Every structure is written in structure tokens, then in C-alpha cells.
Amino acid sequence: MGKDYRNRSKTSRSPRRPFEKERLDRELKLVGVYGLKNKREVWRVQYTLSKIRSVARHLMTLPEKDPQREFQGGALLMRLSKMGLLSESEQKLDYVLGLTVEKFLSRRLQTCVFSTLKLAKSIHHSRCLIRQRHIRVGRNLVNVPSFMVNVDSEKLVEYAHTSPLGNNARPGRVKRKALAKAKEGGEEGDDV
């Protein structure tokens, strides 16, 4: 085993058993349902979830009135609530251990654009819209499909000002050409 000279931490962890049938089927289903690019996106979410769960498990070993548990546990619960992963009735560390990969994947911008906001025709169309810079969150143009949408910013997801798909936006390249051609054809007809 050589040294690892990466200057940033890992974002995903590949499975220990590469050819486990049930896990392969489960991952393939997630990739299809949520329109992911590859299985590394599933592994990245699993890695994030495992880190959050390990923090919650450590905090649960501490006594109930421990200041570290109260402070860090409250911060963790607040962060997960802002992300929309925990509801107001689930404000205990026990519920953090019950989080699933599906809950995380449902908070991605790609999923929100398709299922919640109905801006796209399919989950794959929503990924294309995001990558082609048609979607903004608030005032910021976002072109990352894995962007985690907060509860507050979910209302602010809409078409970008520069996108021809918006209602009051500038028409696209083909439409502009057709309009110019029609205008040009209309002027020639007046001369005759």
C-alpha cells in the first residue's frame, strides 16, 4: 500500500463487495428513479449519510444533559431540518439514524425541478435543463444537478432570466431566426 497524496478528502466510498446482487439491483433502481449519472453519485450520498449517522451515534452515547450533546446535537438537527430531511416533529437524534438515501436524493435540485416544481418533462430532462443553465435558485444560476435545495430556497427555484424557456424571456436562437425571416418576408411583400 502506497501513500495517498490527495490534497482533499474523499467524497465517496466504493462498496467492499463489488458483486453483491441485491446491492447492485438496489443501486441501479436508485440511479434510474432519480436520474443519476452513475453509481458514484449513490455512493457519495451513502458516504455523507454514514458520516452524519456516525456523529449522531457518538452524540447518543453521551449523557442527555451533556453540553456537547445539547450543542452539537441541536446544530445537527437544525441543519438537517433546514435541508428538509427532518420535519418539525422529528427533532430527536433517534430520527437522524432513520434517515435514508432516498430522502437525501429527493432533496437534490434535479429531483425538485422534476417532481416538486414540474419544470421538466422527466427526471432526465431536468438534469439537462440544469446542466444547460436554464435553472436558477434565487438570484444564482445553478448548473449542478446534485445541489441540495433548502426548504427556504425551494420556493425560489425557477427558470433563469437568460433561458428561452421562461415565460417573459428572450426567445431562443431558432425562434429569433424565424421571426427575423418572417419580418424580412413581410417587408418584401409590402414593396410589391
Task: Let me know the angle formed at the C-alpha of 183 by 177 and 188, rounded to the nearest 5 degrees.
Answer: 125
pLDDT band at 1 (very low <50, low <70, confident <90, very high): low
Q: How much is the average pLDDT of 79-95? A: 95
Check if the beta carbon of residue 80 is closer than 8 Å to that of residue 86: yes
What element of type H or E holds 169?
none
Does pTM surpass 0.75?
yes
In 52-166 the beta strands, taken as DSSP E runs, fall at 135-137, 140-141, 157-159
Tens digits of per-residue pLDDT, 99-130? 999 999 999 999 999 999 999 999 999 999 99
Handedness of CA 57, 63, 68, 74 (dihedral sign): positive
What is the model's pLDDT at position 192? 43
Q: Report the C-alpha gap between 22 and 7 in whole angstroms.
A: 34
Q: Report the C-alpha gap between 3 and 38 in whole angstroms.
A: 27
Q: Report the C-alpha gap between 12 and 47 in whole angstroms.
A: 6
